[in-house]
């Protein structure tokens, strides 16, 4: 039997309550956010180890109260440090999500721990002076404490499941692959990772299903959007055409257009009167006809000339009120 073979599916127990389900998801987030997490007490106490840029190794002990995630966790930093986010007792209190805890607002425990670690990386905490420096007189030299003389190392992982086994029992496990596999699957670390993997599979499957369920809706929205864009373009073309027609019509009532047409009509009346006079001189018109036609044409000419002169004197006469 392989050490990494999947365990047999156990019979399903009673459905967890919403509080239990939320608690389990929050605990799972500690693993999904790639934290060096160690379970000290199942479902209650966890420890995350991190090292600051100043080579200071910190242990963040996360304690989950019975009503978590409805109430916030407590996060204690060891060894004692000085930082704006850490109080005198060593508890993290400076993160705004801890101060205004509301699990319904999407607060994720793993992300919260990741943000605290990032804060310690950007602004590394310092050790209190009394923790590493002895009191001394002006004539003596301070002696570095053990924390400075010996570099700190990350704690060695512990496996409580094997602590109570004798050497003979351990040797038997190593010789029996099937028994070793069963023992391996019963370890809390393995169960936790199996649960994390199962939660990720379920979450990914649920996300994929939601995406597939929305496929028809998205396609319908795309089709509707295409139709609306086509309609908008046709309406815009119609609007542009009507706007051009309107501008052309408005030009007929513009001062420049009216003045130009009046000046052309004045020139036309002058040319027509010259033509009548030429016809009279050439003997093509009698005196009576000449006088009547010439008088009428010149009357129109002078009326148009008077109007053009007034427009020239009063430019705003044709402007809209």
Q: Give percent of the chain with pLDDT exceeding 70.
A: 82
Residue 8 · residue 18 · CB < 8 Å? no
3-class secondary-structure state, position 140: coil
Measure the CA dihedral 170/175/177/181, to 10°: 0
Instruction: Give the model confidence (pLDDT) of 84-139 as tens digits.
Output: 999 999 999 888 888 788 766 778 888 889 999 999 999 999 888 755 444 444 44
DSSP states along 280-295:
HHTTSS-HHHHHHHHH
Please report which confidence band the pLDDT of residue 17 belongs to, taking 50, 70 and 90 as the band edges.
confident
Up-side HSE of residue 114: CA atoms within 13 Å toward CB? 12
Length of the chain: 321
Residue 129 tokens read as 């002076």
pLDDT in the model for residue 5:
45
Contacts of 118 (CB under 8 A, 6+ apart): none
pLDDT in the model for residue 253:
73
- 68 Rama class: left (phi>0) / alpha (psi -120 to 50) / beta: beta
pLDDT in the model for residue 250:
77
Instruction: Give the model confidence (pLDDT) of 208-266 as tens digits.
Output: 998 899 889 999 999 999 999 999 999 999 999 999 998 888 777 777 888 888 889 99
DSSP states along 40-100:
EETTTEEEEEEE-TTS-EEEEEEE--TTTTTS--EEEEES--BBTTB-TTSBB--SHHHHT
Residue 60 · residue 75 · CB < 8 Å? yes
**Whole-number Å distance between alpha carbons of 29 and 119:** 19
Delimit the domains of the chain by residue range.
Answer: 18-130, 188-221, 254-321
Residue 245 tokens read as 């027609």
Residue 20 tokens read as 């239990």
CA nearest neighbour of 113 among 202, 54, 184, 30: 30
Residue 30 · residue 43 · CB < 8 Å? no
CA distances from 29 to 84, 152, 192, 209 (A): 26, 27, 11, 22
The top-level CATH class assigned to 18-130 is alpha beta
Please report which confidence band the pLDDT of residue 160 belongs to, taking 50, 70 and 90 as the band edges.
low
**Whole-number Å distance between alpha carbons of 87 and 74:** 12
DSSP 150: S
Please report which confidence band the pLDDT of residue 320 belongs to, taking 50, 70 and 90 as the band edges.
low
CA of residue 293 relative to chain centroid, distance:
85
**Whole-number Å distance between alpha carbons of 254 and 144:** 96
């Amino acid at each position: 039997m392989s050490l990494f073979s999947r365990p047999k599916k156990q019979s399903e127990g009673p459905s967890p309550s919403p509080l239990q389900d939320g608690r389990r998801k929050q605990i799972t987030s500690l693993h999904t956010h790639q934290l060096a997490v160690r379970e000290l007490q199942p479902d209650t106490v966890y420890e995350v180890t991190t090292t600051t840029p100043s080579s200071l190794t910190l242990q963040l002990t996360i304690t989950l109260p019975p009503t978590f995630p409805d109430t916030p966790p407590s996060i204690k930093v060891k060894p004692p440090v000085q930082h704006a986010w850490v109080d005198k007792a060593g508890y993290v209190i400076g993160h705004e999500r801890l101060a205004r805890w509301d699990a319904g607002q999407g607060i994720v425990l793993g992300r919260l721990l990741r943000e605290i670690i990032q804060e310690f990386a950007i602004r590394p905490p310092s050790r209190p002076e009394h923790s590493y420096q002895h009191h001394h007189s002006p004539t003596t030299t301070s002696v570095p404490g053990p924390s400075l003389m010996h570099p700190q190392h990350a704690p060695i992982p512990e496996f409580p499941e094997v602590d109570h086994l004798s050497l003979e029992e351990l040797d038997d496990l190593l010789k029996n692959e099937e028994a070793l596999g069963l023992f391996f699957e019963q370890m809390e670390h393995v169960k936790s990772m199996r649960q994390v993997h199962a939660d990720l599979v379920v979450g990914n499957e649920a996300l994929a299903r939601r995406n597939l369920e929305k496929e028809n809706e998205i396609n319908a929205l795309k089709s509707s959007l295409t139709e609306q864009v086509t309609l908008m373009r046709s309406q815009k073309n119609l609007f542009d055409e009507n706007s051009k027609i309107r501008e052309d019509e408005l030009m007929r009532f513009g001062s420049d257009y009216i003045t130009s047409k009046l000046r052309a009509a004045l020139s036309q009346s002058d040319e027509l009167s010259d033509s009548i006079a030429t016809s009279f001189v050439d003997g093509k018109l009698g005196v009576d006809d000449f006088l009547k036609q010439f008088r009428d044409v010149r009357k129109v000419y002078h009326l148009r000339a008077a109007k053009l002169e007034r427009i020239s004197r009063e430019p705003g006469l044709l402007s809209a009120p």
